[in-house]
Amino acid sequence: MITKNMPKTAERAPIQRSGVPEISEETRPTATSDSLSDFSLVVSHRIGSLLSSIEGYTDLVLPSLNGKEDRDNAFRILEGLSRIAGILEDVKHYKESLTLVTEPRDIRALIDKTLILLADSESDRLSFDCDLPLSLEINVDQARIIQALLSVLRNAFEVTASSNMPVAFSIQAVQNQSAIVFKIQNPMPIAEKRIRNQLFNPFFTTKVSNLGLGLTMARRIFRAHGGDIQLTSNELEAVTEFSCTLPLK
Protein backbone atom coordinates (compact mmCIF):
# COMPACT_ATOMS: atom_id res chain seq x y z
CA MET A 1 0.00 0.00 0.00
CA ILE A 2 1.31 3.43 -0.92
CA THR A 3 1.12 5.89 1.94
CA LYS A 4 -0.73 9.17 1.47
CA ASN A 5 0.83 11.48 4.03
CA MET A 6 2.82 13.89 1.88
CA PRO A 7 2.22 17.58 2.60
CA LYS A 8 0.01 19.52 0.22
CA THR A 9 1.83 21.66 -2.32
CA ALA A 10 0.67 24.79 -4.10
CA GLU A 11 -0.88 24.15 -7.52
CA ARG A 12 0.09 25.82 -10.76
CA ALA A 13 -2.53 27.77 -12.61
CA PRO A 14 -3.88 25.93 -15.66
CA ILE A 15 -2.66 26.97 -19.09
CA GLN A 16 -5.02 27.35 -22.00
CA ARG A 17 -3.17 27.19 -25.31
CA SER A 18 -3.36 30.21 -27.60
CA GLY A 19 -5.95 29.77 -30.32
CA VAL A 20 -7.79 27.05 -28.42
CA PRO A 21 -11.18 28.08 -26.97
CA GLU A 22 -11.43 28.11 -23.19
CA ILE A 23 -12.95 24.93 -21.80
CA SER A 24 -15.61 25.07 -19.10
CA GLU A 25 -17.07 22.24 -17.07
CA GLU A 26 -20.17 22.31 -19.27
CA THR A 27 -18.40 22.37 -22.64
CA ARG A 28 -15.84 20.27 -24.41
CA PRO A 29 -13.44 21.22 -27.24
CA THR A 30 -15.02 21.10 -30.69
CA ALA A 31 -11.77 21.15 -32.68
CA THR A 32 -12.93 18.45 -35.06
CA SER A 33 -12.40 20.10 -38.44
CA ASP A 34 -10.32 18.58 -41.20
CA SER A 35 -8.12 21.68 -41.13
CA LEU A 36 -6.87 20.77 -37.64
CA SER A 37 -5.98 17.28 -38.82
CA ASP A 38 -4.16 18.60 -41.90
CA PHE A 39 -2.33 21.21 -39.84
CA SER A 40 -1.23 18.68 -37.23
CA LEU A 41 0.22 16.39 -39.90
CA VAL A 42 2.19 19.23 -41.51
CA VAL A 43 3.55 20.46 -38.18
CA SER A 44 4.42 16.94 -37.05
CA HIS A 45 6.31 16.25 -40.27
CA ARG A 46 8.28 19.49 -40.35
CA ILE A 47 9.19 19.61 -36.66
CA GLY A 48 9.91 15.87 -36.74
CA SER A 49 12.49 16.45 -39.48
CA LEU A 50 14.20 19.12 -37.36
CA LEU A 51 14.23 16.82 -34.34
CA SER A 52 15.85 14.07 -36.37
CA SER A 53 18.60 16.47 -37.45
CA ILE A 54 19.28 17.63 -33.88
CA GLU A 55 19.29 14.04 -32.63
CA GLY A 56 21.70 13.02 -35.39
CA TYR A 57 24.15 15.82 -34.63
CA THR A 58 23.95 15.09 -30.89
CA ASP A 59 24.75 11.43 -31.52
CA LEU A 60 27.77 12.50 -33.62
CA VAL A 61 29.05 14.79 -30.88
CA LEU A 62 28.59 12.34 -28.00
CA PRO A 63 31.72 10.20 -28.62
CA SER A 64 33.92 13.31 -28.50
CA LEU A 65 32.61 14.43 -25.10
CA ASN A 66 34.90 13.31 -22.31
CA GLY A 67 33.57 15.26 -19.36
CA LYS A 68 30.71 13.74 -17.36
CA GLU A 69 28.84 17.06 -17.22
CA ASP A 70 29.06 17.49 -21.00
CA ARG A 71 27.82 13.96 -21.62
CA ASP A 72 24.98 14.41 -19.11
CA ASN A 73 23.92 17.58 -20.90
CA ALA A 74 23.96 15.77 -24.25
CA PHE A 75 21.75 13.02 -22.85
CA ARG A 76 19.37 15.68 -21.50
CA ILE A 77 19.11 17.04 -25.03
CA LEU A 78 18.21 13.56 -26.29
CA GLU A 79 15.64 13.15 -23.49
CA GLY A 80 14.09 16.48 -24.45
CA LEU A 81 13.94 15.46 -28.10
CA SER A 82 12.22 12.22 -27.13
CA ARG A 83 9.55 14.13 -25.21
CA ILE A 84 8.95 16.55 -28.07
CA ALA A 85 8.64 13.59 -30.43
CA GLY A 86 6.03 12.11 -28.09
CA ILE A 87 4.01 15.33 -28.16
CA LEU A 88 4.12 15.33 -31.97
CA GLU A 89 2.88 11.74 -32.02
CA ASP A 90 -0.04 12.76 -29.79
CA VAL A 91 -0.91 15.61 -32.17
CA LYS A 92 -0.63 13.35 -35.21
CA HIS A 93 -2.82 10.62 -33.74
CA TYR A 94 -5.37 12.91 -32.06
CA LYS A 95 -7.54 13.09 -35.19
CA GLU A 96 -6.89 9.57 -36.44
CA SER A 97 -9.23 6.68 -35.82
CA LEU A 98 -7.71 4.42 -33.20
CA THR A 99 -6.98 1.02 -34.74
CA LEU A 100 -5.83 -1.67 -32.33
CA VAL A 101 -3.71 -4.69 -33.22
CA THR A 102 -4.23 -6.91 -30.20
CA GLU A 103 -2.58 -10.17 -29.21
CA PRO A 104 -1.88 -12.00 -25.93
CA ARG A 105 0.95 -10.31 -24.03
CA ASP A 106 2.65 -11.17 -20.76
CA ILE A 107 1.92 -8.34 -18.34
CA ARG A 108 5.33 -8.38 -16.66
CA ALA A 109 7.14 -8.29 -20.00
CA LEU A 110 4.92 -5.39 -21.11
CA ILE A 111 5.79 -3.45 -17.95
CA ASP A 112 9.50 -4.16 -18.43
CA LYS A 113 9.27 -2.73 -21.95
CA THR A 114 7.52 0.35 -20.54
CA LEU A 115 9.96 1.06 -17.72
CA ILE A 116 13.03 0.68 -19.91
CA LEU A 117 11.81 3.66 -21.95
CA LEU A 118 11.95 6.00 -18.96
CA ALA A 119 14.84 8.41 -18.71
CA ASP A 120 17.44 7.70 -16.02
CA SER A 121 16.32 10.80 -14.13
CA GLU A 122 12.78 9.40 -14.08
CA SER A 123 13.75 5.84 -13.15
CA ASP A 124 15.71 7.17 -10.17
CA ARG A 125 12.52 8.69 -8.74
CA LEU A 126 10.21 5.74 -9.40
CA SER A 127 9.06 3.24 -6.79
CA PHE A 128 7.50 0.16 -8.36
CA ASP A 129 5.32 -2.56 -6.84
CA CYS A 130 3.79 -5.46 -8.78
CA ASP A 131 1.27 -7.74 -7.07
CA LEU A 132 0.46 -10.12 -9.92
CA PRO A 133 0.90 -13.86 -10.56
CA LEU A 134 4.23 -14.78 -12.14
CA SER A 135 2.59 -15.55 -15.47
CA LEU A 136 -0.41 -13.49 -16.54
CA GLU A 137 -1.40 -12.64 -20.11
CA ILE A 138 -3.70 -9.95 -21.43
CA ASN A 139 -4.99 -9.32 -24.94
CA VAL A 140 -3.82 -5.81 -25.86
CA ASP A 141 -2.17 -3.66 -28.47
CA GLN A 142 1.18 -3.57 -26.69
CA ALA A 143 2.57 -0.46 -28.38
CA ARG A 144 -0.60 1.52 -27.62
CA ILE A 145 -0.74 0.48 -23.96
CA ILE A 146 2.94 1.34 -23.49
CA GLN A 147 2.26 4.73 -25.09
CA ALA A 148 -0.65 5.33 -22.71
CA LEU A 149 1.22 4.26 -19.57
CA LEU A 150 4.21 6.42 -20.49
CA SER A 151 1.90 9.41 -20.94
CA VAL A 152 0.45 9.01 -17.43
CA LEU A 153 3.86 8.30 -15.88
CA ARG A 154 5.51 11.27 -17.57
CA ASN A 155 2.65 13.49 -16.49
CA ALA A 156 3.53 12.55 -12.91
CA PHE A 157 7.26 13.05 -13.47
CA GLU A 158 6.77 16.45 -15.10
CA VAL A 159 4.54 17.83 -12.37
CA THR A 160 7.05 16.81 -9.67
CA ALA A 161 10.27 17.59 -11.56
CA SER A 162 11.07 20.93 -9.89
CA SER A 163 11.07 19.33 -6.43
CA ASN A 164 12.55 15.99 -7.53
CA MET A 165 9.70 14.18 -5.76
CA PRO A 166 9.08 10.42 -5.95
CA VAL A 167 6.48 8.80 -8.20
CA ALA A 168 4.83 5.51 -7.24
CA PHE A 169 3.73 2.91 -9.81
CA SER A 170 1.86 -0.21 -8.73
CA ILE A 171 -0.04 -3.02 -10.47
CA GLN A 172 -2.56 -5.44 -9.07
CA ALA A 173 -5.37 -7.76 -10.14
CA VAL A 174 -8.86 -6.73 -9.02
CA GLN A 175 -12.45 -8.00 -9.14
CA ASN A 176 -11.57 -11.69 -8.79
CA GLN A 177 -8.77 -11.29 -11.35
CA SER A 178 -11.20 -10.13 -14.03
CA ALA A 179 -9.18 -6.92 -14.47
CA ILE A 180 -5.84 -5.38 -13.66
CA VAL A 181 -5.27 -1.85 -12.45
CA PHE A 182 -2.15 0.26 -12.88
CA LYS A 183 -1.92 2.99 -10.22
CA ILE A 184 0.33 5.99 -10.74
CA GLN A 185 0.68 8.36 -7.82
CA ASN A 186 2.63 11.52 -7.09
CA PRO A 187 2.74 13.79 -4.00
CA MET A 188 1.34 16.88 -5.77
CA PRO A 189 -2.36 17.15 -4.85
CA ILE A 190 -4.97 18.75 -7.08
CA ALA A 191 -7.50 20.53 -4.89
CA GLU A 192 -9.01 22.92 -7.43
CA LYS A 193 -12.24 21.53 -8.85
CA ARG A 194 -11.86 23.23 -12.24
CA ILE A 195 -8.50 21.56 -12.85
CA ARG A 196 -9.73 18.16 -11.66
CA ASN A 197 -12.72 18.33 -14.02
CA GLN A 198 -10.62 19.17 -17.07
CA LEU A 199 -7.56 16.94 -16.71
CA PHE A 200 -8.60 14.69 -19.61
CA ASN A 201 -9.73 17.51 -21.89
CA PRO A 202 -7.56 17.97 -25.01
CA PHE A 203 -5.26 21.02 -25.00
CA PHE A 204 -5.78 21.68 -21.28
CA THR A 205 -2.59 21.63 -19.22
CA THR A 206 -0.99 23.08 -16.10
CA LYS A 207 2.56 22.64 -17.43
CA VAL A 208 4.29 25.16 -19.68
CA SER A 209 6.15 22.47 -21.66
CA ASN A 210 3.09 20.32 -22.28
CA LEU A 211 0.56 20.44 -25.12
CA GLY A 212 -2.27 18.93 -23.09
CA LEU A 213 -2.91 15.76 -25.11
CA GLY A 214 -1.09 13.07 -23.13
CA LEU A 215 -3.87 12.16 -20.70
CA THR A 216 -6.50 12.60 -23.44
CA MET A 217 -4.78 10.06 -25.68
CA ALA A 218 -4.02 7.71 -22.77
CA ARG A 219 -7.69 7.56 -21.75
CA ARG A 220 -8.72 7.07 -25.38
CA ILE A 221 -6.35 4.07 -25.68
CA PHE A 222 -7.51 2.43 -22.44
CA ARG A 223 -11.18 2.91 -23.33
CA ALA A 224 -10.56 1.39 -26.76
CA HIS A 225 -9.37 -1.73 -24.88
CA GLY A 226 -12.54 -1.82 -22.77
CA GLY A 227 -10.82 -0.23 -19.78
CA ASP A 228 -10.52 3.32 -18.48
CA ILE A 229 -8.36 5.88 -16.70
CA GLN A 230 -9.76 7.72 -13.69
CA LEU A 231 -8.47 10.28 -11.23
CA THR A 232 -8.99 8.23 -8.07
CA SER A 233 -7.59 10.59 -5.44
CA ASN A 234 -9.95 13.20 -4.00
CA GLU A 235 -9.33 16.89 -3.38
CA LEU A 236 -8.59 16.33 0.31
CA GLU A 237 -5.78 13.82 -0.20
CA ALA A 238 -2.15 14.91 -0.24
CA VAL A 239 -1.47 13.03 -3.48
CA THR A 240 -2.65 12.74 -7.07
CA GLU A 241 -3.47 9.19 -8.14
CA PHE A 242 -4.55 7.89 -11.54
CA SER A 243 -5.94 4.36 -11.88
CA CYS A 244 -5.68 2.72 -15.31
CA THR A 245 -7.86 -0.38 -15.64
CA LEU A 246 -7.79 -3.15 -18.27
CA PRO A 247 -10.14 -6.15 -18.41
CA LEU A 248 -8.53 -9.59 -18.33
CA LYS A 249 -11.57 -11.45 -19.67
CATH of the domain at 10: 3.30.565.10
Per-residue pLDDT of 154-168, as tens digits, reads 889 988 887 888 999
> Do 108 and 194 belong together in one domain?
yes
> Do 57 and 163 belong together in one domain?
no
User: What value does the mean pLDDT take over residues 76-104?
Assistant: 75
> Do 75 and 154 belong together in one domain?
no
User: What value does the mean pLDDT take over residues 36-63?
Assistant: 75
> Do 80 and 143 belong together in one domain?
no
> Do 63 and 135 belong together in one domain?
no
Domain, as residue range, for 108? 1-24+100-249
* Gap between the Cα atoms of 142 and 137, Å rounded: 11
> Do 219 and 143 belong together in one domain?
yes
Per-residue pLDDT of 179-238, as tens digits, reads 999 999 998 888 888 888 887 787 766 665 556 678 888 999 999 999 999 999 988 888
Cβ distance 147 to 110 under 8 Å?
A: no
Q: How far, in Å, are 34, 95, 229 from residue 225 at the CA level? A: 26, 18, 11
> Do 155 and 204 belong together in one domain?
yes
**How many folded domains does the chain comprise?**
2
User: What value does the mean pLDDT take over residues 115-139?
Assistant: 89
Its pTM surpasses 0.85: no
Mean pLDDT of the chain, nearest integer = 78
> Do 43 and 82 belong together in one domain?
yes
